[in-house]
Amino acid sequence: MPKMTFAQAIDYALGEAMARDERVVTFGEDVTMLRRNLFVRFGPRRVRQAPISEAAFLAAGVGAAMAGLRPVVEIMLVDFIAVAFDALLNEASKVRAFSGGGWNVPLVVRAACGGGYGDGGQHEQCLWGLLSAMPGISVAVPSNPADAAGLMLSAIDSDDPVVYLEHKLLSDYWLDYLGGGSRGTVSFDVPREGAEGEVACPPSPVPIGKARLVAEGGDLSLFSLGVGVHRCVEAARSLAERGIASEVIDLRSACPLDTELVTASARKTGRVLVVDEDYIAYGLSGELAAVLAEAGIKADFARVCSEGAIPFSRKLEDEVLPNVRRITEAALRLCEGRP
Amino acid sequence: MKADMEELYRSMARIRFCEEALANLWQRGIISGEMHLGVGEEAVAAGVVAHLEDGDALALDHRSTPPLVARGVDLVPLFLEMIGDERGLCRGWGGHMHLFSREHLACSSGIVGSSAPLGAGFALAAQYLAPGKVAVSFFGEGAANQGMLLESLNLAVAWRLPQVFVCKDNRWAITTRSRSVTGGDLLRRARSFGMPACRVDGTRVEAVWEAAGKAVRRARAGRSPSFLLASCPRREGHFLGDPLLRVYREPLKQTLEIGPPLVRSLLSRPLQAFALRPLYMGIIGKTLTVLGIEKFLLEPDPLCRAARLVPDDVRRRIDQEAREEVERAVSAAMERGKRHA
Ligand SMILES: Cc1ncc(C[n+]2csc(CCOP(=O)(O)OP(=O)(O)O)c2C)c(N)n1
Ligand SMILES: [Mg+2]
Question: Do B64 and B186 reside in the same domain of the chain?
Answer: yes
Separation of CA A244 from chain center: 28
B109 ligand 1 Cβ < 6 A: no
Q: What is the rounded distance in angstroms from the CA atom of residue A153 to the CA atom of residue A147?
A: 10
A212-335 to CATH, choices 3.40.50.2000, 3.40.50.920, 3.90.180.10, 3.40.640.10: 3.40.50.920
pLDDT digits (tens, 9 = 90+) for B207-248: 999 999 999 999 999 999 999 999 999 998 999 999 999 999
B163 ligand 1 Cβ < 6 A: no
As beta bridge partners, residue B167 has: B139, B229
pLDDT digits (tens, 9 = 90+) for B71-122: 999 999 999 999 999 999 999 999 999 999 999 999 999 999 999 999 999 9
CB contact under 8 A, A80 and B94: no
- How confident is residue B271, by pLDDT bands cut at 50, 70 and 90? confident
Q: Would the pLDDT of A181 be above 70? A: yes
Per-residue DSSP letter, A313:
S
Task: State the average pLDDT over residues A278-306.
Answer: 98
A322-to-A99, A112, A305 alpha-carbon distances in Å: 41, 18, 6
Question: Do B285 and B174 reside in the same domain of the chain?
Answer: no
Tell me, what's the pLDDT at B340?
Answer: 63
Q: Smallest CA–CA separation between A316 and chain B, in Å?
A: 8
Q: Would the pLDDT of A163 be above 70? A: yes
Tell me, what's the pLDDT at A329?
Answer: 98
Atom of ligand 1 nearest to the CA of B112: 26
Question: Do B313 and B288 reside in the same domain of the chain?
Answer: no
Task: State the average pLDDT over residues B324-331.
Answer: 98
The complex scores an ipTM of 0.97
Whether A325 and chain B come into contact, CB under 8 Å, resolves to: no
Q: What is the rounded distance in angstroms from the CA atom of residue B199 to the CA atom of residue B227?
A: 9
Q: Would the pLDDT of A338 be above 80? A: no
Question: Do B266 and B324 reside in the same domain of the chain?
Answer: no
The proportion of chain B whose per-residue pLDDT surpasses 90, expressed as a percent, equals: 93
Q: Would the pLDDT of B189 be above 70? A: yes
What's the whole-number average pLDDT of chain B?
A: 96
Which residue in the set A49, A183, A312 is minimally distant from B181, CB to CB? A49
Q: Which ligand is closest in space to the CA of residue B138? A: 1
Provide the b/e sequence for A193-212 (b: ≥16 CB within 10 Å): ebbbbebeeebebbebbbbb
Q: Would the pLDDT of B304 be above 90? A: yes
Residue of chain B whose alpha carbon sits nearest to that of A79? B111
CA B238 to ligand 2 centroid distance, Å: 8
Name residues 260-299 of chain A within 8 A of B (Cβ): none
Question: Do B272 and B330 reside in the same domain of the chain?
Answer: no
Which residues in A lie closer than 8 A to residue B112 (C-beta atoms)? Answer: 52, 80
Question: Do B175 and B309 reside in the same domain of the chain?
Answer: yes
Number of domains in chain B: 2
Question: Do B279 and B133 reside in the same domain of the chain?
Answer: no
Question: Do B213 and B289 reside in the same domain of the chain?
Answer: no
Task: State the average pLDDT over residues B128-156.
Answer: 98
B110 ligand 1 Cβ < 6 A: yes
Q: Which ligand is closest in space to the CA of residue A57? A: 1
- Which residue range(s) make up the domain with B279? 243-298
Atom of ligand 1 nearest to the CA of A82: 1
pLDDT digits (tens, 9 = 90+) for A14-53: 999 999 999 999 999 999 999 999 999 999 999 999 999 9
- How confident is residue A252, by pLDDT bands cut at 50, 70 and 90? very high
Tell me, what's the pLDDT at B341?
Answer: 60
Q: Which ligand is closest in space to the CA of residue B142? A: 1
Question: Do B31 and B84 reside in the same domain of the chain?
Answer: yes
Tell me, what's the pLDDT at B339?
Answer: 74
Provide the b/e sequence for B255-275 (b: ≥16 CB within 10 Å): eeebeeebeebeebeeeebee
Residue of chain A whose alpha carbon sits nearest to that of B25? A185
Which residues in A lie closer than 8 A to residue B110 (C-beta atoms)? Answer: 120, 122-123
Atom of ligand 1 nearest to the CA of B140: 15
Q: What is the rounded distance in angstroms from the CA atom of residue A201 to the CA atom of residue A209?
A: 23
CA B320 to ligand 1 centroid distance, Å: 34
Question: Do B184 and B169 reside in the same domain of the chain?
Answer: yes
CATH number for the region A3-198 comes to 3.40.50.970
Q: Would the pLDDT of A164 be above 90? A: yes
Question: Do B217 and B273 reside in the same domain of the chain?
Answer: no
The domain limits of chain A are 3-198, 212-335
Q: What is the rounded distance in angstroms from the CA atom of residue A29 to the CA atom of residue B169?
A: 18
Give the CATH number of the domain where residue B193 resides.
3.40.50.970
CA A176 to ligand 2 centroid distance, Å: 21
Q: Would the pLDDT of A240 be above 80? A: yes
Q: Would the pLDDT of B338 be above 90? A: no
- How confident is residue B296, by pLDDT bands cut at 50, 70 and 90? confident
Domains A3-198 and A212-335 alike in fold: yes
List phi, psi (to 5°) of B287: -55, -45
Question: Do B294 and B308 reside in the same domain of the chain?
Answer: no
Atom of ligand 1 nearest to the CA of B144: 15
Task: State the average pLDDT over residues B34-39.
Answer: 97
CB contact under 8 A, A52 and B112: yes
CB contact under 8 A, B34 and A19: no
What's the whole-number average pLDDT of chain A?
A: 97
Q: Are A110 and A75 in contact (CB under 8 A)?
A: yes
Separation of CA A30 from chain center: 22
